[in-house]
Every structure is written in structure tokens, then in C-alpha cells.
Chain A
Amino acid sequence: MIVEDQITELTAQVAALKGSSGVTNTMFAETFYYLTIPLMMIIHAGFLAYEMGASRMKNVLSSGVKNILAFAFMIPTFYFFGWWVYWGFPTGIPGAAGPAGISGVEYANSIAKGWGESAQYMGPNISDQASGVFFGAFALFAATTASIMSGAVIERIQTVGFVILAVVLGSFAWVVAAAWGWHADGWLVTQWGLHDFGAAGLVHAVAGFFALGVLINLGPRIGKYNADGTANHIAGHNMPMTVVGLMLIIVGFFGFLMACVIVPGESWSWFADKPATIYGTPITLSALSFNILMAVAGGIIGAWIITKDPFWMMSGALAGIISTASGLDIYFPGLAFIIAFSAGILVAPAAKWLESRGIDDAVGAVTVHGTIGLYGVIMLGVFATGYPALQGEGVATISLVGQIIAAVVFFLLGFVPGYACSFILKMLGMLRVPEGAEIAGMDTVKVPAQGYPEGIPASAAPAE
């Protein structure tokens, strides 16, 4: 009888411990993703500083307004339909359910609509500590795409036209790319073995080439090109602000990449005991730490040797991360450094080449995010051929062909909607500000405030 009592007591204690560790794990998981959200907000602080610094004084505040407004519209539109698109269409159109059982229009209708029964997963719910933080992380990915495009089009775009483009990019175009290539049921993954862990293609390349499509219709800033087609450099008003902004973007990317990890031990986790990528393949935060840091360093060093320019050095750091983002989970740090170094070397000449083709990309976004994003997707195909793209037996493996096919898809998913939507806006007279307004300065035309009411005077004499 005594033994039986002891067994009963022990069983109760084990159950209590299990319950307690379950609560701890759930709180850890929720907190993990919650903290990625403010970290990713730092990306936006960075883009804001970067873009305002790259603007001339007459446009500095309007560039800021545009950037802030894109963020503000991205969140509700991603809530209204972007989140639903992500879960609805991984297998393609018409949105059939996939093998992992977490996709398809029916599934999306049950978890990602802000009305009806599904609304229980789209608002405060004591029994759901995951949906809100996942939504938040994805909404911030969406906002990142809009910010990437935002810098490219400064100093001549209309605010509302820009916001419409940002919504199409952030709450639709990249979301389709994510559904197809960043989901265990995504057809690019299941059929072609795509691996794009850190979204080099499906965030950066899609946003970069969306920007290219817009820039073709938007045209260059007045004074950018001479009659013979040669380009002039239009300097921003505050290079230090731009460089610090770029550094902030890199800080935020630690949060972005952290949010790409699926924590263990929850009912929705891939594993009980180890973290996974969004594809269900194993990963560690240590892998990210090794490879992100080596990539940042490689990118800076590559850009320095070519340009000696702090703007391009920090853009090289971004290019370093983006060029290795697809395989940050499986690269060896020395290899990540080498690939990032090559990206740092490529980035400024590639941007110059684009400029020579008549594309006025004020911050090099098409090159840093678009070209280097695709470079990163393809590089992974060169080095990681044979890796299983998913967990389980008989799954597709990473291949160069699969990565190239995905790169083409990402290019099209960015460029086509960017070009088509900006063309329509141009026809409607909603794309570019009138010439007189551009010459006067966008702040004078649009913003009832002054960036530097006292100008930027020389420093006061130091005290004796």
C-alpha cells in the first residue's frame, strides 16, 4: 500500500513537472518570435535613416514619410489578405492541400481570415500563443520587402502610387514566392528541392526586381543623366546617416534570420528536441552566428578593396548576408566568407552597370537585393547539391537546376507585377510627381515640416 501511494505521488509529481516544462517551453517559443519583431523593426529604422540620408535636403522628409507610410499600410494589408495567401497557395493555383497538411485554401480559410470561425486565430486567444507572433514576424518580412523598394524610387515618386506598389509587393508578390518556396508544401521545394533558408530569393530578389520593374516606368531623377546618356552622381545630403542606417539594417537582420527558425517542443514544431528551418530540416542558432558574422565581414572586405567607399562597404555587408542567406544553415563559415567576399566585389560594379543602362536606382537596391539575391540562390545550388530539401525519406534534394529554376521564378514574381502595376499607375498619372514639383523639392510640395529649419550650419566654435 505504501509503495502504491508512493507511485501515485511520483506519477502526480512527474505530471506536474511535465506540465510546468510545457508552459516554460510555450512561453519560450512565444517570446522567441515576439522578440524577433522589435529586432526586425530595427531594419526599418535602418532603411529610414539610409533612405533619408541618401535624399537631398529638399526631399529628406518626404522620403521618410513614404517609408513610414509603406510600413503602416503593410501591416493591415498583410493581416487582411497576405497571411491568407501564404497559407493558401503553396502547391500553386488553385490552392490544393499539400502533403504536410498545412496548406491549401481550405486550410487558409480555417486559420488566416479575420472573420468567422477563423477569426479565433487572428486575435487574442488564451489557447493560441503562436498565431500572433508568427503573423507578426511574417508581417515584418513583408514590410522589409516594401522598404527595399522604397529606397530605389526616392525623390520623384507619388506617395499614394508608391503605397499601392508597396502593398502589391509586400502583401502579395513576395507572399506568393514565400508560399511556393518557403513552406514545406511549397511546390518549388517538394518538386525542385529549393532551399532558400534566409530568403535571398523570395524576399530580396523578389523585392529587388520588383523595384527594377517600377524604375523602368518611373524614369530617372531630373539631372541624373546627361544628353549623351552618361550618368551624374546625385549625392545624398547625409552620408553618415546612410551608413549608420545600413548598419542598423544588418543588426535587424539577426532578428529576421532568427525568425526563420522553428523552435522545438511545441505541437506545431518539426522536432521535440531540436530547432528546424521552415522546411523541417535541422538548424542551430550557432550556425547562424558563425555564418552571418563571416558573411558580413566578407562582404565589407570585398567592397572595400573595390571601392574604398563606406556606402558600398556597408552595402557590401548586406550583399554578404544576402549572398549566403539561402544556406546560412549549412554553409561552412570559411565558404560563407568567400562567397560573401565575391558578392562584396560584385556589388558596386553591378550597380554601375545598371546605372549605365539608364536605371536610376538611388541606393543600389536592385543590385544589392535583386542581383545578389539571385546570385545567392544559385551559389547554394553550386555547393549544396545532394542535400535533402525536406525531412523524411525519398524527398527532393537541392540541385543547381532546381535553384536556377527557383531564381527565374523569383525574378518573374518580382519584375512582372512591379512593371505591370507601375505601368498602370503611370497611365493613371499616379506614378511620378510633376517636373516642377520635383525641381522645387518634395518636402516643399508634400510635407508641412522642415527637416533642417536652421539649415546645416558650421559647428559652433569650441569653448576655450
Chain B
Amino acid sequence: MGFPYEEANWAVVDGAMFMGWGGSAPGFYTLIAAVICVGVLVVGHRSEAKKAKRFD
């Protein structure tokens, strides 16, 4: 991934400077992060419901 500018020199940087800028990586990371949030809620709910059922 690395430095998002052709020349490895901070003098050429005048805007975004994060890893993946200029490609599809930022969107990909955002998607993965969102999937994690949803996935954790699904798994967490299942686990909690299973435990709660024991007290039914």
C-alpha cells in the first residue's frame, strides 16, 4: 500500500496523506469496519440470547 504519492518526500504532499488514498482501499476499509460492527451485533445477540434462555 504505502505512501500515496509517487515521490517519497513530504514536500510533495498538499492534501490527503493517509494510507490507501487515491485507490479503493479507504472504501474497502470502511466497508470491512461496517461489516464488523453488524457482525459483532449479530453474534453478540445470539450469545446473549442463548445465555438468557437458561433462565427462562
**Residues of A that sit less than 8 Å from B by CB:** 281-282, 287, 294, 298, 301, 304-305, 308, 327, 330-335, 337-338, 341, 383-388, 391-393, 397
On whether the beta carbons of A391 and B40 are closer than 8 Å, the reply is: no
B residues 22-50 near A (Cβ < 8 Å) are: 25-26, 28-33, 36-37, 40, 43-44, 47
On whether the beta carbons of A385 and B33 are closer than 8 Å, the reply is: no
On whether the beta carbons of A338 and B8 are closer than 8 Å, the reply is: no
Q: What range describes how many residues of B lie at the interface?
A: 20 to 34
List 4 additional A-B contacts (Cβ < 8 Å) besides A337-B33, A388-B8. Answer: A330-B19, A332-B20, A384-B2, A392-B9
The binding surface of chain B is classed by DSSP as helix
Q: Roughly how many angstroms separate A333 CA and B19 CA in the complex, as a whole number? A: 10
Contacts of A341 in B (CB 8 A): 33, 36
**Residues of B that sit less than 8 Å from A by CB:** 1-3, 8-11, 13, 17-21, 25-26, 28-33, 36-37, 40, 43-44, 47
Q: A332-B18, A332-B19, A385-B1 given as contacts; is B9 within 8 A of A338 (CB)?
A: no
Contacts of A383 in B (CB 8 A): 1, 19
Contacts of A385 in B (CB 8 A): 1-2
Among A334, A393, A397, contact of B33 (Cβ-Cβ < 8 Å): A334
On whether the beta carbons of A386 and B32 are closer than 8 Å, the reply is: no
Using CB atoms, name the residue of chain A closest to B39: A305
Q: Roughly how many angstroms separate A89 CA and B12 CA in the complex, as a whole number? A: 31
On whether the beta carbons of B44 and A386 are closer than 8 Å, the reply is: no
Q: Roughly how many angstroms separate A386 CA and B7 CA in the complex, as a whole number? A: 10
Contacts of A387 in B (CB 8 A): 2-3, 8, 19
Contacts of A305 in B (CB 8 A): 40, 43-44
Q: Roughly how many angstroms separate A163 CA and B34 CA in the complex, as a whole number? A: 46
The 9 closest A-B pairs by CB, nearest first: A334-B29, A386-B2, A334-B30, A386-B3, A332-B18, A337-B33, A334-B33, A335-B29, A387-B3
